[in-house]
Structure 1
């Protein structure tokens, strides 16, 4: 077995520690008691410090445990599911869910009622949280899942120092953040607890199929920051030597249901000791305005947003204070990285690229912030992470040759929620199958192709199987296949459908698009078009041969007729 590891030493996660003690009460994290951890971007007076957050977490945890029995039977069993816009209260609810002994799960704000209902049922959620704009669909999902309305709690963070959770049934606030009783979270005494107790449930399509719940343990959540932020160690040390200490500040604009929203906005402010400014939702003009107002030092985003920054004449001095710029969730080319860097840090800040997955609690490789890679790879392997590169027969390939990348380490998830078959199929000898084809060369990792079916639209996951199931439910569609095609104008993949009509029936491209729009979230729309064909290529076992369809795209960009 050929295993590759980081040149940096492994990180020792001893003695055993729980996730919340790691954040609030350990030497691991740089945040001070008076650090404003989370701030509303449109109202900087609406903030919470680390010290205030600790007390709020304990009081909310008490309510979750004593009023809703979260964690009463055992830790890491009861799911609290949130559909929330960005605000400084949502990360506190994330911590409090875990403090009560529960599991936090984020749902996409773009979900239809049907999509939200499916996740609520799959997670067997005990409490549904939502911000006001998602109240109606959350209530409808609760009714379809037989969840009492007193377990639907509406998040209200509009009043500084008086954040509320309002019961949908009684219309009353269930919290007393000022002087309510507190629950002390469980402190771990054994490493087994770190490994075995789940703290977070995020949904991913893995390598194939419909979205599945990824179970992230306390160890996964703890390891994420020290492992992934190791790329900043030399940069931060150099700044200190130069008398220009690094201070972490960033603008939160990616969803809390995404691993980037959890890792960059909920974990890293504690670990790196700084502030997250929360946008309610992403808007380009507001995003760049917040950069001019707060002058953050760090920004992680996805290629389509970096493309907007590179191309927009509106961007002038907005990113002059940015010292660290990271991209992830989908590949970025060297050309775009070079172009966008001209607008960052007065032209002195270079892009850094990460590669990761929800199943790896974020990233597995990344470019060091103090180094410049002219090839713009996805960087070196993180400490404590092990990678393998295998062929279609699971045999190790030679160094420098392409193979599916397998990963092991403390950041690799426990498996899929209630999906033992999917968990079994996604692991090989303890290594998670990423579904990405990569090359290891000169100590750097290059992702060159995708074996998995998953489509990444602006960093959001689109499962072809979900789109296909929706398409074939149309009465005039006999069969369908969906692949991702690259849209260079948006620097992202977009879904394209190949459709077989029912014999003797007619259906137009617009009708197909409208049908999908009625049933699925906005990021799952058929922006790559609809192609009508006579037959979907399939294997003898009935599996769609997507490689053949991708060859059609190379031969004829729009269709294979």
Structure 2
């Protein structure tokens, strides 16, 4: 569905559906449903709270909290007055949060009660003058934000928002270790809806319910939720539960759309309750975020009597831009691929000079899409490099087959994907290098049956230094997010180095795999 006249910015989504289906559920949370009318009114109140705090169009408002219906009330509220939402990853360590805040310079900060202290510390450490407004997702109606909303007008300010302005500023780690603020505009999200509208296999309707447990600070979590809401579908939003509780949520809320990362699909099907759980409401499982093996995928296809869709995308593309479609899953064809592009999306495989390579030959994925980011916040040089020659250079290596299907075989950027989370090796290495006694180090991803990949640090100690793996891991935990912390430390006397001084990580990976398999 392409609502090009009715929805021109993200704030128009609750406006539109509050007019045509005001009583229908827009969101479902632990406290029950939120109707489209309620979502429209609450987002208006938040817009007026933000405006009263002297936050002007073009500014940014930070949010730190786990998944809840309040996230979307805040998202649509700030977007209605032309302010961008800065969703922060609550798993990050304090220094990482501070780096993002210093780069983004938000004018206001919404923090869930669980993270109120972290928010205050991050603001203080960043040197910013930024007011923190608390809310409590577990006890609605009893927070500073609730009081401000009650006192605020519920009228819509009807601000003329430029669709090309940033709606969400989403940070993703860079290969240099410096966080990158990906500017996602209203128009980028809405153009992606056009691509989906032209895709024959896409069939979301207002009768659907999407269960969102993927973190909303990720492109996948918020992107797929906006995809559903744009089409009038309700979104049941919760923080990621354990596999048993996830099965219970599916049975309780009866979702028809279920986006998950492959690791979670496997963990859910491994749970003892999976054999008797009623999953009959689910008509489509959408999976992405990390590779899935052919055997686990076939098992999931047999265990769940529903359609499956795989997509490939990036934060820079708002969400998925290639699809492995339901009929292709049903026929069992190309299951190891990430599908083929959506209409209006161009994807090619190129060599280091940007020249397209023949089918079957590995190169870098280069992408053109109407949904692409407008660039990286405060990083014009990096933006120019990543989007040179009219193409987005994804950093993902793979190939296209003769039938036009694409396959990812590696990552040019040395990124490790563990449990659906992106970890750049540079981030881990920079943390280790801050620790006394570490002479050289390299972070690699090794295959892991549960997480897809696990982060492994290979460390060369300084002469006479006594290093203990457990202590290094504990020190890393103080510097970087828990999911980035190495699962294990391997001590070696030297690293394989090229003539130019770079660590040969593919060689190192093979050496460590051979060493651990003895």
Q: TM-score, normalised by structure 2?
A: 0.91
Query: For residue 27 of structure 2, what is the aligned residue in structure 1?
Result: 38
Q: 1:286 aligns with which of 210, 220, 245?
A: 245
- The answer on 1:213 being equivalent to 2:181 is yes
* SS of residue matched to 2:478: helix
Q: TM-score, normalised by structure 1?
A: 0.85
Q: Return closer, same or farther for 1:17/1:271 CA change in 2, 3 Å cut-off.
A: closer
* SS of residue matched to 1:304: helix
Q: 1:359 aligns with which of 316, 321, 327?
A: 316
What CA RMSD, in Å, does the superposition of the two structures yield over aligned residues?
2.7
Q: CA deviation at 1:532?
A: 1.6
Residues 110-162 of structure 1, C-alpha deviations (whole Å, 9 max, x = no match): 1222222121112112111111111111111111123457x1011234456x4
8 Å contact from structure 2 (residues 368, 392) kept in 1: yes
Q: Return closer, same or farther for 1:491/1:318 CA change in 2, 3 Å cut-off.
A: farther
Query: For residue 125 of structure 1, what is the aligned residue in structure 2?
Result: 106
Q: 2:147 aligns with which of 169, 173, 195?
A: 173
Query: For residue 424 of structure 1, what is the aligned residue in structure 2?
Result: 384
Query: For residue 182 of structure 1, what is the aligned residue in structure 2?
Result: 155
Q: For the residues of structure 2 that align with 1:388 and 1:380, how far apart are their CA atoms?
A: 11
Q: Return closer, same or farther for 1:26/1:37 CA change in 2, 3 Å cut-off.
A: closer
Q: CA deviation at 1:416?
A: 1.2
Q: Which runs of 5+ in 1 are unaligned?
A: 1-10, 167-171, 238-244
Q: 2:458 aligns with which of 498, 502, 506?
A: 498
- The answer on 1:329 being equivalent to 2:289 is yes
Residues 353-386 of structure 1, C-alpha deviations (whole Å, 9 max, x = no match): 1111101111110122344342312112111111
Query: For residue 470 of structure 1, what is the aligned residue in structure 2?
Result: 431
Q: Return closer, same or farther for 1:209/1:147 CA change in 2, 3 Å cut-off.
A: closer
- The answer on 1:392 being equivalent to 2:352 is yes
Instruction: Provide the aligned length of Structure 1 versus Structure 2.
Output: 513
- The answer on 1:435 being equivalent to 2:395 is yes
8 Å contact from structure 1 (residues 250, 299) kept in 2: yes
Q: For the residues of structure 1 that align with 2:407 and 2:342, how far apart are their CA atoms?
A: 14
Q: CA deviation at 1:181?
A: 5.1
Q: For the residues of structure 2 that align with 1:165 and 1:51, how far apart are their CA atoms?
A: 23
- The answer on 1:369 being equivalent to 2:326 is yes
- The answer on 1:19 being equivalent to 2:9 is yes
Q: For the residues of structure 1 that align with 2:463 and 2:196, how far apart are their CA atoms?
A: 53
Q: Return closer, same or farther for 1:246/1:54 CA change in 2, 3 Å cut-off.
A: closer
1:80-159 equivalence runs, <5 A = 80-148=61-129, 151-158=131-138
Q: CA deviation at 1:523?
A: 0.8
* SS of residue matched to 2:343: coil
8 Å contact from structure 1 (residues 402, 437) kept in 2: yes
Q: Which runs of 5+ in 2 are unaligned?
A: none
Q: CA deviation at 1:15?
A: 6.6
8 Å contact from structure 1 (residues 31, 271) kept in 2: no
Q: CA deviation at 1:428?
A: 2.6
Q: CA deviation at 1:535?
A: 3.0
Q: CA deviation at 1:280?
A: 3.7
Larger displacement relative to structure 2 (387-396 or 15-24): 15-24
Query: For residue 506 of structure 2, what is the aligned residue in structure 1?
Result: 547
Query: For residue 60 of structure 1, what is the aligned residue in structure 2?
Result: 46
* SS of residue matched to 2:303: coil
8 Å contact from structure 1 (residues 307, 491) kept in 2: no
8 Å contact from structure 1 (residues 198, 217) kept in 2: yes
Q: CA deviation at 1:260?
A: 1.3
Q: CA deviation at 1:407?
A: 0.7
Indicate the structure whose relative CO is greater, using CA pairs within 8 Å and at least 6 residues apart. Answer: 1
8 Å contact from structure 1 (residues 115, 520) kept in 2: yes
Q: CA deviation at 1:51?
A: 2.0
Larger displacement relative to structure 2 (387-396 or 533-542): 533-542
